[in-house]
């Protein structure tokens, strides 16, 4: 596989993921917001600096996103108990439940819409291979 093909695959997979989770339309979460939410979901209690380091986003952008999300009731920003200059981030329980419900959904209909020329058997095979690729990549990072 060429690097350019990997970029195209990543873009296609992101489109399928966004459609699968219902992250489309006027109220969609943009890529930066999604990166912050995903990071804080995986790392509750993270600081803005932690999220900045892991996502590669600018600290000012992470700060704006977290405060916007806090104003919207999606994220909780609380002062660090040991260092009041730092803020600790958590996803609000109600938002976490909504994100989990979206994340646990099937990719079947989004995959069918994105690749309508594939047969049901081919989509099933592709779904299996995607799951296996995800498992292997996760295993390679642990």
Residue 99 within any structural domain of the chain:
no
Report the CATH number at residue 74: 1.10.10.10
Least confident of 19-28, 32-41, 121-130: 19-28
Question: Considering Cα of 10, then 13, then 17, then 18, what sign does the dihedral take?
Answer: positive
User: Looking at residue 105, what is its pLDDT?
Assistant: 84
What's the DSSP call for residue 26?
T
- How many CA atoms lie within 13 Å of 29's alpha carbon, on the beta-carbon side? 22
**pLDDT above 80: residue 27:** no
Compute the average pLDDT of residues 87-106: 88
- 6 and 39: one domain? no
Domain that holds residue 129: 1-22+105-141
Tens of pLDDT, residues 99-131: 888 888 889 999 999 999 999 999 999 999 999
Residue 73 within any structural domain of the chain:
yes
Are 35 and 130 a contacting pair, CB within 8 Å?
no
Residue 59 within any structural domain of the chain:
yes
Average model confidence (pLDDT) across the chain:
91
- 68 and 54: one domain? yes
User: Looking at residue 83, what is its pLDDT?
Assistant: 87
- 132 and 113: one domain? yes
pTM: 0.71
DSSP class per residue in 113-128: HH-TTS-HHHHHHHHH
User: Looking at residue 90, what is its pLDDT?
Assistant: 96
Q: Is 73 left (phi over 0), alpha (psi -120 to 50) or beta?
A: left
CA 105 to chain CA mean position, Å: 14
What are the residues whose beta carbons fall under 8 Å from the beta carbon of 62, sequence distance 6 or more?
36, 48, 51, 52, 55
């Amino acid at each position: 596989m060429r690097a350019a093909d990997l970029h195209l695959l990543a873009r296609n997979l992101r489109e399928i993921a966004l459609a699968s989770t219902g992250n489309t339309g006027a109220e969609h979460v943009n890529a930066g917001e999604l990166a912050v939410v995903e990071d804080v979901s995986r790392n509750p209690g993270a600081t803005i600096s932690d999220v900045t380091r892991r996502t590669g986003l600018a600290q000012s952008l992470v700060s704006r996103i977290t405060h916007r999300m806090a104003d919207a009731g999606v994220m909780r920003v609380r002062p660090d108990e040991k260092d009041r200059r730092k803020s600790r981030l958590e996803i609000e329980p109600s938002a976490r439940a909504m994100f989990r419900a979206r994340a646990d959904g099937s990719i079947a209909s989004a995959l069918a819409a994105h690749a309508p020329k594939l047969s049901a058997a081919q989509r099933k095979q592709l779904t299996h291979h995607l799951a296996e690729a995800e498992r292997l990549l996760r295993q390679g990072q642990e």
